[in-house]
Amino acid sequence: MDFLKMELESIIVYSVTAIFCLLVIWFYIRKGKSESKATLEKIEIARQEGRFEPLSLHPYIDLNACIGSGACITACPEHDILGLVNGKATVINATNCIGHGACFHACPVEAISLRIGTEKRGVELPHVNQSYETNIKGLYIAGELGGMGLIRNSVEQGKMAVENIAKSGKSRKDGVLDLVIIGAGPAGISGSLEAKKSGLRFTTLEQDSLGGTVFTFPRSKVVMTNPMDLPLFGKVKLFDTSKEELLNIWKEALGKYEITIQENTKIEKIIPLLDDTFKLVATNGNTFITNHVLIAIGRRGSPRKLGVPGEDTFKVAYRLLEPERISGKKIIVVGGGDSAVESAMLLMDQNEVILSYRKEQFARIKTKNSKSIETAINQKKLQVIFNSEVLSINEQDVLIKTDASSDAKIVPNDLIYVFIGGELPTDFLKNAGIEITKKFGQIVKKH
């Protein structure tokens, strides 16, 4: 009797365990299907909005190796860049990927590599070897221009490039600098600190202001970054740091080691000389002779302009520095990317803002920005005019043409902010002899 009772208890335990396991498996499968469906819907939206194809550095997933752990999704600091479909990782909003590389490091089975461009969409990049030297000996490139736009990556590249320059063994000459660094963004600042550490005779030039591209961000914009190691200064732990906080750290580091950045000095020519030195010519007439050059400028080079009458007036700007100080103005923001959308929303509470965009809908903007500006439009905090273009700029108004009307419209206006991208400095690089090639899915990092 006891034996039968034990058998019955065992059967019940095994049955309950089996039912529990089946329920777990059922819930797991159901959850997986639900996740797959949600991810596929997001991918379809990304396709429609032009955010599915990567523009620069992005993760490439080997589906044969991927085990669907989701570690890459958890590690990515951005939202909806990666997702799971049928138990495999996939890219959703590839355009919004800014090359953190966290997914690459988090993958437990090394199924992710980082690539530049795709088989269909090539990305123009200058030729740079593993030492960050171009095809022209003594001329180096680091940071965003070389395809690595993330702040931490740019900082690391600037440091390593100058380390290689310091080891080059090039003999010093009287009246000749060891190094000229062009650009005072993350790579340029890091390179400057490393040059000081290495005892090089150098100068750092910036066409605008300290911080480069970071300086042009609106003041309240958060700079997504990770801990970075600044030469001499040490490791700086930064998460969700604002632009102002980041610039203050850089100013502190440069000030501590008495490094001065020559601002508002744009180099227009790099001329290789017969004695293996370089002559740099600035737009202000200054010239520099140096053994080495480190180009640490952004991919956009100079802001792209509208090319319309009146654009050279004081009321037109290509960056928004202190939006909180602007109030009671009639403002037009031109552009449809994240910079234009974010700037318009920063200005709308204290001003009358119109956002003019030449296409019929926003493309390739972050999901958060898309939702925020939709809310702002619905609440009538700003006006968006799609399919429009500015024809001319006058002292008190702007002439705007829309596809919906055959006649141009005169719009009262005090200020115009233009965010339509920048010009890739291809001619500047080619005139120095640097080779430019298109990368079609080239692997940058592989385990």
- Domain chopping of the chain, boundaries: 2-116, 125-302+425-445, 305-420
User: Treating both helix axes as pointing N-terminal to C-terminal, what angle do 367-378 and 338-347 enclose, rounded to 10 degrees?
Assistant: 40
The closest of 336, 332, 338 to 310, measured between CA atoms, is 332
Q: How confident is the model at residue 405 (pLDDT cuts 50, 70, 90)?
A: low
- pLDDT above 70: residue 181: yes
What is the structure's pLDDT at 212? 67
Q: Do 51 and 35 meet the contact criterion of CB atoms below 8 Å apart? A: no
Which position has the higher pLDDT, 121 or 106? 106
What is the structure's pLDDT at 74? 87
> What's the pLDDT tens digit per position in 411-442?
999 999 999 887 778 888 899 999 988 777 77
CATH number of 125-302+425-445: 3.50.50.60
Q: Calculate the average pLDDT of the chain.
A: 83
Are both 125-302+425-445 and 305-420 of the same fold? yes
| Gap between the Cα atoms of 160 and 204, Å rounded | 16
Q: Do 48 and 107 meet the contact criterion of CB atoms below 8 Å apart? A: no
Q: Which two tokens stand for residue 370?
A: 């898309």
Mean pLDDT of 61-68: 90
- pLDDT above 60: residue 203: yes
> What's the pLDDT tens digit per position in 118-154?
777 777 778 888 889 999 999 999 987 776 666 777 8
How big is the chain, counted in residues? 447
pTM for the full model?
Answer: 0.69
The CA distances from residue 201 to 71, 137, 181, 195, 416, in Å, are 45, 19, 11, 8, 42
Pairing of strands 241-242, 222-223: antiparallel
| Gap between the Cα atoms of 130 and 238, Å rounded | 27
| Gap between the Cα atoms of 247 and 261, Å rounded | 13
What is the structure's pLDDT at 128? 86
One-letter amino acid identity for 331? Answer: I
| Gap between the Cα atoms of 385 and 388, Å rounded | 6
The CA distances from residue 157 to 111, 132, 422, in Å, are 25, 8, 23
What is the structure's pLDDT at 354? 95
One-letter amino acid identity for 285? Answer: G
Count of C-beta atoms within a 10 Å radius of residue 97: 23
E strand spans, 175-259: 177-182, 202-205, 222-223, 228-230, 234-236, 241-242
Q: Assign a CATH topology to domain 2-116.
A: Alpha-Beta Plaits (3.30.70)
| Gap between the Cα atoms of 158 and 230, Å rounded | 10
Q: CA 353: distance to chain centroid? A: 26
What is the structure's pLDDT at 423? 72
Q: Given this structure, which CATH class describes domain 305-420?
A: alpha beta
